[in-house]
Amino acid sequence: MKTLLKYTLSLFLLASALTFTACSSDDSNPEADELANLTKFQEFANETHTIELYSHMGSLEQGYNEVALRIKDNATGDYVKNAEVNWMPLMHMTMMNHSCPKSAVEKVTTNGTLYEGYIVFQMAQNATEYWDLKVNYTINGTAYSATAVIDVPASTERRVNTFTGTDGTKYIVAYAEPHHPKVAVNDVVFGVWKMQDMMNFPVVDGYTVKIDPRMPSMGNHSSPNNVDATQVTAGGLYEGKLSLTMTGYWKINLQLLNAEGTVLKGEAITDTVLESSIFFELEF
């Protein structure tokens, strides 16, 4: 009985100690929280600053990538909190260079050190062709820039489609979220961009991405209660609902419809048409 009491007491003390430590870490170390769920995968420097690149997966790959960065002052070792940042990813192909869809780079929190945005690499690097990333930033009116080659391997599953629609426009449709799909109704986020020229890929507004998830290994069955992805706000990403009834390999067949409802690319799945020409792949 005495030992039991002792154990209970010590357990209680341990629990309260843990609670207090947890609280205090919240107060004193905001940087640690800022970097929660992020992993640094690269850093590069110019004479004055070092740029640190972060992502959820700790790497980049072909497709949609959320990328965060911090700018460290090489002299003081402090992180810069007041920079204006933009970026320019560039693919160096043998015959030409081109960029890709990308967002503006925004501060995550006013007092924090992180800047964040997305980049959609529509193609992967190969033996002779590579991506680099130029980060331009302005601190108190002074402009700086740093550039580095980045590693963009091919994704194991297809997460991005580049195609020419029936309207003659070249589009890029990419899968953004969720990172970890579940057997559930998943809130999915896609992006739709068009290629204006080699360097400009603006978001396309008002379209619809129809989704039809299928399991090719299991009779190509579908799932119920999917909701096609549409835009919540102009200039933003497309949100929909994706039902996955089991784990395994899913092919998310797509159709891209313009604002008038005309199919620009992709086919409806039937007994004879087993896959669409544009699709995403998920495996979990």
Partner 1 sequence: MKNISLLLLCSGFFSYAQETKDSLVPKDLKEVIVIGKKTQIHEKQSKSLATIDEFLDKGSKVDLVKRGAYAWEPLINSMATERTLITIDGMRIFGACTDKMDPITSYVEVSNLSEATVKSGQQGSCFGSTIGGAIDLKRSQNRFGDQQWDFALNTGFETNNRQKIVGSSVNYADSTYYLDTDVMFREADNYAAGNNREILYSQFRKLNFSGTAGFKFFTNKLLEASVIYDKATDVGYPALPMDVSLAEALITSLKYVVIPKSSLVKDWETKVYFNTITHRMDDTTRPSVPIHMDMPGWSKTFGMYSKATAVKNRHHFLANFNAFYNQSVAEMTMYPNDPNENLMFMYTWPDVRTLYTGLFAEDQWVFNCHSGLKLSVSAGSHTNDVASDFGLQSLQIFYPEMSRQKTRFLKSIAAHYNYHKGEWEYGLGLGYGERAPSVSEGYGFYLFNSSDRFDYVGNPNLSNEKSIETHAFIGFKKEKISTKISSSFFRISDYIIGTPDVSLVPMTIGASGVKLYTALSYATIFNVDWNSEIALSNSLKWNVGLLYSLGKDSNGNNLPLINPLSYKTALTFTKPKYNAAIECVGNTAQTRYGSVYGETNTADFALLNANFGYKWVVFSSKLYTKIGVENILDAYYTTYSDWNKVPRMGRNAFLNINFSL
- Chain residues binding partner 1 by CB under 8 A are 182-185, 215, 217-219, 221-225, 243-249, 283-284
The distance of closest approach from Cβ of residue 283 to partner 1 in the complex, given in angstroms and rounded to an integer, is 5
Residue 184 vs 273, nearer CB to partner 1: 184
Q: What are the tokens at 228? A: 């096609």
Dihedral (CA of 175, 186, 210, 206) sign: negative
Taking the C-alpha atoms of residue 229 and residue 213, their distance in angstroms, rounded to an integer, is 13
Residue 77 vs 219, nearer CB to partner 1: 219
User: What H or E segment, with its residue span, contains residue 177?
Assistant: strand 170-177
The distance of closest approach from Cβ of residue 246 to partner 1 in the complex, given in angstroms and rounded to an integer, is 4
The distance of closest approach from Cβ of residue 227 to partner 1 in the complex, given in angstroms and rounded to an integer, is 11
Taking the C-alpha atoms of residue 21 and residue 29, their distance in angstroms, rounded to an integer, is 12
Residue 13 vs 184, nearer CB to partner 1: 184
The distance of closest approach from Cβ of residue 173 to partner 1 in the complex, given in angstroms and rounded to an integer, is 24
Q: Virtual CA dihedral for 221, 225, 228, 234, nearest 10 degrees?
A: -150
User: What H or E segment, with its residue span, contains residue 34?
Assistant: helix 30-34
The distance of closest approach from Cβ of residue 215 to partner 1 in the complex, given in angstroms and rounded to an integer, is 7
| Cα separation values, 192 from 14, 54, 122, Å | 51, 24, 12
Residue 117 vs 216, nearer CB to partner 1: 216
The distance of closest approach from Cβ of residue 223 to partner 1 in the complex, given in angstroms and rounded to an integer, is 7
Residue 169 vs 245, nearer CB to partner 1: 245
Residue 26 vs 283, nearer CB to partner 1: 283
Residue 129 vs 157, nearer CB to partner 1: 157
Taking the C-alpha atoms of residue 120 and residue 273, their distance in angstroms, rounded to an integer, is 29
Burial annotation 23-41 (CB, 10 A radius, 16+ → b, else e): eeeeeeeeeeebbeebeeb
Q: What are the tokens at 230? A: 């549409």
What phi-psi label fits residue 13: left (phi over 0), alpha (psi between -120 and 50 degrees) or beta? Answer: alpha
Residue 46 vs 245, nearer CB to partner 1: 245
Tokens 């460290």, located at residue: 72
The distance of closest approach from Cβ of residue 184 to partner 1 in the complex, given in angstroms and rounded to an integer, is 3
* Non-local CB neighbours of 197 within 8 Å, separated by 6+ positions: none
